[in-house]
Amino acid sequence: MDNNRGGPQATAEEHELELMKQQLLPSMSEDIEAALKCLNESAGGSRCSIFRVPEAIGGGIAEACRPRIVSIGPYHHGESQLEMLQGPKWRYLHAMLGRTQPHAVRLENLINVVAPKERMIRQCYSESTDNFSRPDLVRMMVLDGCFCEDADIKDELHMRAVPHLDRPLLCNTYVKACVMQDLLRLENQVLYFVLKDLFETTNVPEGTSSLADLIFNFFNCILKGPGNVRERWIKRKGVHLLDEFRLSLIPSDPQDNQVDKSSSFPMIRSSSELRQVGIGFKQREASTFLEIKFDRKRRIIGIPKIAVDDDDLNWILPNMVAFEQCCGCRNDNHVTAYAMFMGSLIHTVDDVQLLRKCKVISNHGMSNREFARFFNDIRKAAPFELVEESYLASQFAILNESLKCEQAYHCWAQLLNTFHDNPWSALSGLVVVVTLVGIIQTVYAVLQYHYPK
């Protein structure tokens, strides 16, 4: 009887399972197809350089990588909050095409230099661009690429070639600053080879500087540093504007990063804690603010003054860190290593105040609390292990090795200091030491008596 009851029940259960499988099969197949459409086949490939930043990176980095006022490229194309400058893009392109001879530009020529590279352009995005047809993508690259050039080189090129062009938007200080920031956001990049091809097709007036030089002039209000920054910028070719900016900060001769792989590599202490064990800080003259160096003999960490204002640092640094993290190049993470180093030094408001006194951090922009929170968030956004293979690895190793020696010295010095401040503590300590010595001698004498050699 039990078998009879179990039979129909088992059959009904099997029927339900079969129905569930029939429902799951097509729906999961659709999910797979949808996921593949979102992820570009070239994601993770050598050409992939423009990334959609995952929220998992944390630290507010993903938000910092998104445009605020103008969309460049496919990721944020058509978003309503970015439509303000979409119309002016077409006006600037029209003005470029309307130049007088011999600097006239033909639209056909602009399309001809971009269209053959359409497939290559798609391979540079981590997410699929299949929702844009081939003509649509080429149209976007021509329009956005020409706008980037217009924003970059307006003073030297357009005011000379098209002096009648009314430019009320980019002449607005606030809008210009927002556009400049958006042109350096990771999810808003246009490829450098597209800019170069368009620039070389636009018949620029004789005497106009190179594209790299013009871009540098545009971003020079963010990048503050010694004159050879320009030399590094022009010599190195990045894949897009953000990468160009990042490469201009990397030292021409990076420090040796060879360290003993068998040694432990703990995170260094905060600046306040280091100060307590005799490690000092000093502003260091260097070609780039990434060149941090620890002077072991003088026990001083030399840190160049940060070459960007606080207000710019809180968006440009996350974008460079995100780019390095998404690229996954463990031997090319200079900015991430710098952010981790500074994040290790800065935990609290007191740490920021100490570095401000040493003139490493400027005295305007973010408050001490905001600065501490910013670097705490950045520090949590990347694995500390990346530092082990960075240009700062040797500096971390030397500093940690020095701290081991300092720790023993500091404990002894602190003990002496306590005894010096309080004679009764010194006397009590002496009594304890004498008592311990007496006990040890007594135990040793008893053992010698009972267990003679």
pLDDT number for residue 139: 97
The least confident of 123-132, 259-268, 330-339 is 259-268
pLDDT number for residue 59: 73
The least confident of 85-89, 396-400, 447-451 is 447-451
202, pLDDT greater than 60: yes
- What count of Cα atoms within 13 Å lies in the side-chain half-sphere of residue 394? 11
367, pLDDT greater than 80: yes
Query: Binning pLDDT at 50, 70 and 90, where does residue 162 land?
Result: very low
d(CA 213, CA 5): 85
pLDDT number for residue 157: 46
Q: State the alpha helices, DSSP H only, in 98-172.
A: 107-114, 118-122, 134-153, 159-161, 168-171
Query: Binning pLDDT at 50, 70 and 90, where does residue 349 land?
Result: very high
pLDDT number for residue 80: 94
- Residue scoring higher pLDDT (209 or 259): 209
d(CA 288, CA 298): 22
The least confident of 52-56, 214-218, 279-283 is 214-218
The least confident of 157-171, 323-337, 383-397, 430-444 is 157-171
Mean predicted confidence (pLDDT) in 366-392? 83
**299 vs 157, 282, 412, CA distance in Å?**
51, 10, 18
What is the three-class DSSP state of 412? helix
pLDDT number for residue 158: 47
pLDDT number for residue 156: 46
What is the three-class DSSP state of 202? coil
Strand 293-295, strand 300-303: pairing: antiparallel
% of the chain with per-residue pLDDT over 70: 73
d(CA 37, CA 60): 27
Asked if 350 and 369 count as a contact pair (C-beta separation under 8 A), the reply is: no
40, pLDDT greater than 70: no
pLDDT number for residue 189: 96
d(CA 294, CA 280): 10
**286 vs 21, 216, 268, 363, 387, CA distance in Å?**
65, 20, 22, 20, 21
What is the three-class DSSP state of 295? strand
d(CA 416, CA 427): 12
The least confident of 25-29, 198-202, 221-225 is 221-225
> What is the tens place of the pLDDT at every residue in 88-123?
899 888 888 876 566 678 899 999 999 999 999 999
